Amino acid sequence: MARKTLRIAMNGVTGRMGYRQHLVRSLLAIREEGGLDLGGGDVLWPEPVLVGRREHALKEIADRHGLTEVSTDLDAVLADDSIDIYFDAQVTAAREQALKSAIAAGKDIYTEKPTATGLGAAVELAQAARAAGIKHGVVQDKIFLPGLLKLKRLIDGGFFGQILSVRGEFGYWVFEGDWQEAQRPSWNYREQDGGGITVDMFPHWEYVLHELFGRVRTVQAHVTTHIPRRWDEKGKAYEATADDAAYGIFELDGGVVAQINSSWATRVNRDELVEFHVDGTEGSAVAGLRNCRIQHRATTPKPVWNPDLPATESFRDQWQEVPDNADFANGFRAQWELFLRHVALDEPYHWDLAAGARGVQLAELGLKAAAEGRRLDVPELAL
Ligand SMILES: NC(=O)c1ccc[n+]([C@@H]2O[C@H](COP(=O)([O-])OP(=O)(O)OC[C@H]3O[C@@H](n4cnc5c(N)ncnc54)[C@H](O)[C@@H]3O)[C@@H](O)[C@H]2O)c1
């Protein structure tokens, strides 16, 4: 039995995603279970080195979790030959430069999305990583969610017949920050700081649609800022220069039509914070983060339109819950494990910087389509 340690420089662990999902729920959770089982008695042991701007905040996290290494000097960390992987969960605007430096230093890379703020930079990163011969991965957590894994199982099992359309609803009310604190960081609402719901969410929709239903061929979008003034972490008012709602329509390979609403200015009247309603000739499904319910052709009721009468049946009750039939891990952890196996064992892994660039492309084209009021083709990236 051998224990292989991978030293992972984690930048942005004081943030929401870096701390909770990547450090605590992924790498520390793997350590709590004795490391990642590589088979044959071998175990991979992830060793986080916390990187950031504020030493006291990093030390505080390290102490809380029994970690020892922190640094505020990214260049020095990247120059350290003992570091195997660079991980980035910084604010989006800070990512491109850090990834470039990490690639130049020959580190393998794992990063949050979006990989860059523009398509040109995202493509350059993918090309540089390929030229450097490093391993690279981009977070695409949504397809590892239990609800979407159940949806994938339905698709693979032929449940839908011909898939016709997908309607996605994502979002919730993000408080403005005046009388109740906002529950998301303020940079998300300032375009100049890399914010905006389109650059945030369209990268997710690109891989969800692509992996489950087909490559996105065209995009139309209406993008807007519903709430123009918000209050930041210090209680100071600021102008919300970034979009907080994006209403998109996407045509996919094979003719499936997908329509996805993303909004930070909507109040939830759904079972989960994101839901995808899929209609097919043989059946339909509604998949959320954890659950998935279905209605088969044979159990589809026959409603008759008559506004003069109250509804006589509960349409919600006519759906059936899809059973788990499996243990589902945290989606971020599941993807980390696959990436670590890719690095350690050279197992295949396709959620890379090229996939990340496709997400940035869809966001950029979505914003352009909205600005020009047009439907735009989404050309296949030659990477
Ligand atoms: N995969 C997902 O579902 C998902 C969800 C939310 C956010 N994200 C992505 O994760 C990244 C981080 O988002 P978050 O919500 O954790 O943000 P956050 O504001 O909570 O954390 C940002 C981190 O970046 C650091 N940072 C570095 N340079 C900075 C600068 N110049 N200004 C401010 N902070 C700076 C902060 O110290 C902090 O550690 C973003 O790129 C976002 O798009 C992904």
pLDDT (average), residues 42-50: 98
Its domain, for residue 223, covers 142-326+361-376
The pLDDT value given to residue 312: 85
Q: What is the CATH number of the domain that holds 322?
A: 3.30.360.10
Q: Is residue 381 part of a domain?
A: no
Residue of 142, 66, 106 whose CA lies nearest to 332: 142
* Residue 142 pLDDT level (bands cut at 50, 70, 90): very high
Q: Are residues 49 and 81 in the same domain?
A: yes
Same domain, 172 and 305: yes
Q: What's the rounded mean pLDDT across residues 24-29?
A: 98
- Residue of 56, 90, 187 best suited for mutating to test ligand 1, as the one with most atoms within 8 Å of CB: 90
Q: Which residue of 91, 95, 113, 199 sits with most ligand 1 atoms within 8 Å of its CB, as the best mutation to test the pocket?
A: 91
**CATH code at 113?**
3.40.50.720
R_g over Cα of the chain: 22
Let me know if 238 is exposed, middle or buried by CB neighbors in 10 A (0-12, 13-18, 19+).
middle
| Each residue's pLDDT tens digit, 283-315 | 999 999 999 999 999 999 999 999 999 988 899
Q: What percent of the chain has pLDDT over 70?
A: 100
12 exposure class (CB count in 10 Å sphere: 0-12, 13-18, 19+):
buried
Q: Is the pLDDT of residue 382 over 90?
A: no
What are the angstrom distances between the C-alpha of 161 and each of 19, 29, 75, 158, 192? 42, 39, 53, 6, 45
Residue 365 forms part of a structural domain: yes
Residue 265 covered by a domain: yes
Average of pLDDT values for 47-65? 98
Measured at the CA of 198, the angle between CA 194 and CA 202, to 5 degrees, comes to 115
Q: Whose CA is nearest to atom 33 of ligand 1?
A: 91
- The answer to whether the beta carbons of residues 71 and 51 sit under 8 Å apart is yes
Closest CA to 278 of 301, 300, 295, 255: 295
Kindly state the average pLDDT of the residues 52-58.
97
In this structure, is residue 19 part of a structural domain?
Answer: yes
The helix/strand/coil state of 250 is strand
Tens digit of each residue's pLDDT (9 = 90 or more) over 184-238:
999 999 999 999 999 999 999 999 999 999 999 999 999 999 999 999 999 999 9
Looking at the structure of the chain, the number of domains it has is 2
Give me ligand 1 centre to Cα 67, in Å.
Answer: 21
Same domain (yes/no): 132, 203: no
Kindly tell me if the per-residue pLDDT of 13 is higher than 80. Answer: yes
Task: For residue 27, report the phi and psi dihedrals to the nearest 5 degrees.
Answer: -70, -45
Measuring CA to CA, which residue among 221, 197, 246 is closest to residue 373?
A: 221
Domain identity same for 185 and 311: yes
Pocket residues for ligand 1 (CB within 6 Å)?
12, 14-18, 52-53, 89-92, 94, 112-113, 139, 141, 185, 200
For the record, the structure tokens of 81 come out as 């030959």
Going from the Cα of 250 to the center of ligand 1, the distance in angstroms, rounded, reads 27
pLDDT band at 383 (very low <50, low <70, confident <90, very high): confident
| Arithmetic mean of pLDDT over the chain | 97
